[in-house]
Structure 1
Amino acid sequence: MRLILVRHGRTQANARARFPLSSAVPLDATGREQVTRTGQQIAATDFRPEIIHSSDAERAAQTAALLRDVIAPGLPIVPRTDLRELDWGELRGRSTSTGPAGEAAYARWQRDPMGRLPGGEGLADVAARVARVLRLITDDGRPAIVVSHAVTLTVLTAQANGWDLAETWRSHRAHLSTGQFRLLDLPAPHGAVRPLPH
């Protein structure tokens, strides 16, 4: 089966290089444009999704609705709490920089991303959530779009391919920028991930 993974469009938090304060962060104008463009690109392929699984965070829900409107207005959208972004804990609202002016807690976590951030989650927590969603999607069997967040989609891609999660995180090989998408073929012992033409 095939999935298309889509990272939500840009928000003002993304534009300011800040961790979101809450799940109620909307897309900004650039984010809406990114998603509309992505929807047009997906619609121009031979991929025909039958369902959209989306994080229930506002920015992801808006992304899913915009994609549906461009690709197929009747496409069902299923909100899933397990597709939420990593809980950034005490880093909410702070800078995403790991440089000298950045957050020391974030820099420390980057060295051991499987462990938990202060007051938040680690990659191992996200992996447990994502494994549940992957099972549901695989059992369902329909070609689908999955709308989520940078960390969550990195974890999903690593799990689907049997890649080492910490190494995948450090290498950034599964990273998607805001509004970007990737085609993922499932199942296979180790799925095949490749970008669609842009």
Structure 2
Amino acid sequence: MTSSELWTRTTADRYDAGETEMSSAAVLGPTLAFLAELAGDGRALEFAIGTGRVGVPLRERGVPVVGIELSEHMAAVLRGKIDEDTLPVVIGDMATTVVPGEFTLVYLVYNTITNLLTQDEQVECFRNAARHLGPGGRFVIELGVPPLRLLPPGQVAVPFDVSERHLGFDTFDLVEQMLVSHHFTRDGDDGRTTAATPGTATPGRRSST
């Protein structure tokens, strides 16, 4: 399954609406300030730029940003916010895709390194970041720590959001070291439920419905 099959156009169109907390000034403001400081007077490259939650406002702060994104659907949503000349995006795998030029900062946020399901792929991602960085450049990764202490013996699932319109829970496979986040969203008032976003996994990502 390709990323564009996993992240359908419908899912991509809904993505920003489902991430209002992560797009809030309280969360995004410190992130942008941190990245802008590291980028300095140079350029920034975002791996898995998605819909541009971070890349677009970072560019608006004056930092030249280029993105790599595997999902054409996610990139299409980003393109509706900002033009190609202002924020170029290359469709490809962040572990292997190379874009022209040198960068002072490569960054990968919101657990997205877990899209890479194997250690070998994750190592290639680090190597690809190094290919793009100039002397003294930085590679920044944002990654959560699975809450294994919340998992009682014999239980494999932990809820992280239970609300009127959204149910989210993580399931754990301790042997395979895999975490899958399941998202169910209620559409309107007719009781229909759909998967809101693909799940996040450690060390990789799997989808869930």
Give TM class, smaller chain: 0.3 to 0.5
TM-score by length of 1: 0.34
Q: Which has the higher strand share?
A: 2
TM-score by length of 2: 0.32
